[in-house]
Amino acid sequence: MPRRRQAVTIKHVAADAGVSLQTVSRVINAEPNVREEMRERVQEAIDRLGYIPSIAAQRMSGSRSYLILALNDRDRTIEAWRARQGSDWVDQMLLGGMLKCAEHGYRMLFELVDTHDDHVERELTATLAALQPDGVILTPPHSDNPKITAFLESRRVPYARIGSTGQAGGIPLVMGDEDAARDATAKLVALGHRRIGFIAGSAEYSLSEWRKAGWRDAMAEAGLPREGLCVRGDFSYDSGVAAARALLSLEPRPTAILASNDQMALATRDVAEAMGIAIPQALSLVSFDNTPVTTFANPPLTAIDQPIAETVSQAVELLIAASRGEKMPRLPVVVPARLIERGSTGPAPV
């Protein structure tokens, strides 16, 4: 039987570099109080021996856990997974977060929490006790849940809030929802549209109101009517069907609709098709999120691309900085969205 290769430990690195265990630990943990010459000597020993520091060893060596915890809403996440309708919020969140964590020797863990649970504090207590993360990322609607944010504040756990202005603390990061909705509406105005409908998302999300405000402001700037042209959904396909029917039954009906997410936009497309309204000849359609389904729709949907991966990546960067005692931004960090034009938009019908 071949003999197993002996695992390289921190003791081997210390002996090879001729330094103490504490010095090796400080280099591994990227602590600032190490001379550059010493840091290079330890790093050369690490590379020469092929030493790979374990999270367990890192956690034992200091006050940090080297774990970032991301919390997503349980009900909506499971519903999206079971529906298999192409929502890639979680994929993009993990893409940005895991890659950035890896750059710093961290790991990202992903947990589902019910934001409506009266016992959410109890659930979070168990999770934090087990994982002891260096920081927590909150996604909507957790970002503005006062129970969750107050709990993290009381435990002095650094946290980032995606889609929140951070009025009650934490590190706020937004994706320019209001500006994106304003720009998309202005684009439709430039195409000659005068009656532009808007399907709002659930009021439980701050970003729903930001998107509505962007549409409203662009309509006001163009001197266009808004009354009766905004209908609220809840981000589900079924709510999009009801909203689209209400808008497309108006007289005169809108010649363009901006929907607050892809599922409601797809519902609008299907309602329009059932009513014999051609897209984009008789109705231009713009969506929010830009999940994979937008490219497979017929016609492909013009969509506002949400920079989820980049936003979560920045959240990780800021949380790691916070764990090192660095100052955090007071104002929300803005990661701007962008409009991707496809076949669902065109000039207003004559």
* Torsion angle (degrees, nearest 10) of CA 248, 84, 143, 220: -20
Higher pLDDT, 20 or 273: 273
**Please, are residues 243 and 258 in contact by the beta-carbon 8 Å criterion?**
no
Spell out the residues 6+ positions from residue 235 whose beta carbon is closer than 8 angstroms to its own: 76, 201, 202, 260, 261, 263, 264
Q: Is residue 343 part of a domain?
A: no
Q: What is the CATH number of the domain that holds 53?
A: 1.10.260.40
Q: Are residues 114 and 44 in the same domain?
A: no
CATH code for the domain of 232 = 3.40.50.2300
71 within domain boundaries: yes
* The predicted structure's pLDDT at residue 56: 53
Note whether 210 and 260 are same-domain residues.
Answer: yes
What average pLDDT does range 324-341 have in this prediction? 87
Residues 211, 298, single domain; the answer is yes
What is the DSSP pairing of strand 159-162 with strand 171-174?
parallel
Residue 4 pLDDT > 50: no
The domain of 105 spans 67-175+307-337
pLDDT at 3: 40
In a domain, 201, yes or no: yes
In a domain, 347, yes or no: no
Look at 167 and 332; give whichever has higher pLDDT.
Answer: 332
Same domain, yes or no: 113 and 220: no
Q: Kindly give the residue spans of alpha helices, DSSP state H, lying in the chain.
A: 10-17, 21-28, 36-49, 55-61, 74-83, 89-103, 120-131, 146-154, 177-190, 206-221, 237-248, 262-274, 293-296, 308-323
Segment 175-187, tens digit of pLDDT: 999 999 999 999 9
Within a domain: residue 330?
yes
Are 191 and 288 contained in the same domain?
yes
20-29, 73-82, 202-211: which range is least confident on average?
Answer: 20-29
One domain for residues 165 and 279: no
In a domain, 1, yes or no: no
In a domain, 348, yes or no: no
Same domain, 225 and 330: no
**Cα Rg, the chain, nearest whole Å:** 25
Q: Which two tokens stand for residue 247?
A: 């808008």
pLDDT tens readout for residues 322-331: 888 888 777 8
**Is the pLDDT score of 2 beyond 70?**
no
Residue 172: pLDDT band by 50, 70, 90 thresholds?
very high
- Compute the average pLDDT of residues 96-104: 92
Verify that 256 and 113 share a domain, yes or no.
Answer: no
Last residue of a domain, one of 20, 43, 61: 61
333 and 320, same domain (yes or no): yes
Together in a domain, 318 and 169: yes
161 sits in which H/E element: strand 159-162
Asked whether residue 349 is assigned to any structural domain, the reply reads no
Tell me the average pLDDT of the chain.
88
Q: Give the range with max mean pLDDT: 62-66, 123-127, 133-137.
A: 133-137
Same domain? 181 vs 118: no
Residue range 268-313, pLDDT digits in tens = 999 999 999 999 999 999 999 999 889 989 999 999 999 999 999 9
Based on the structure, what is the number of domains in the chain? 3
pLDDT at 1: 41
Instruction: Report CA-CA distances (Å) from 191 to 157, 185, 225, 295.
Output: 48, 10, 17, 22
Residue 279 corresponds to which tokens in the numbers above? 């897209």
- Within this chain, do residues 170 and 261 fall inside the same structural domain, yes or no? no
